[in-house]
Amino acid sequence: MVDRLVVITTSASASASELVINGLRPFIPVVIVGDRTYGKPVGQYAIAFCDKVLAAVAFKLTNADGQGDYFDGLAPNCAAADDLDAQLGDPGEASLKEALTVIATGACTPATAVPERARPQSSRPVIRATGWDAVLGAH
């Protein structure tokens, strides 16, 4: 049995990644290492009409405790950069190194621990909706 989960995320982690993290939180400790996730706690169904496809938001994802309002993403417990100069799997790569520290010690490196009150609400830029996005209220 798994007694905890350590997940490495970036600002591009969304949908299924966030579903696994949020879905397991009521059952086991989940430690997020890296950056705040994208924030997509909803799903769509594709509806074809004429020569277009509308991917309408059709459902919201929640966990066993009813939690699911992470539209601004899931904040990391331990901040770590996505070190693109290192090879995949290199234990010296910043986010993997921090995850291995959490696994070995059970805690973040002190400099990377992110207090809940200090976590930013969103690291994504504000995107102004135009065209169909504006009509549908999508962004």
CB neighbours (10 Å) of residue 72?
16
Whether this prediction's pTM lies above 0.85 is answered by no
Q: Cα separations (Å) of 110 from 52, 98, 114, 126?
A: 51, 11, 9, 31
Q: 120-137 pLDDT, tens per residue?
A: 444 444 455 555 555 555
DSSP track, 15-49: THHHHHHHHHTTTS-EEEEES------EEEEEEEE
Give mean pLDDT, residues 79-89: 92
Give the domain ranges of the chain: 5-136
Hey, what are 59's tokens?
């459902």
Give mean pLDDT, residues 22-46: 96
Q: What is the mean pLDDT of the chain?
A: 86
Q: 85-132 pLDDT, tens per residue?
A: 999 899 999 999 999 999 999 999 988 777 764 444 444 444 555 555
Choose among 28, 7, 3: nearest CA to 98. Answer: 7
Q: What percent of the chain has pLDDT over 90?
A: 73
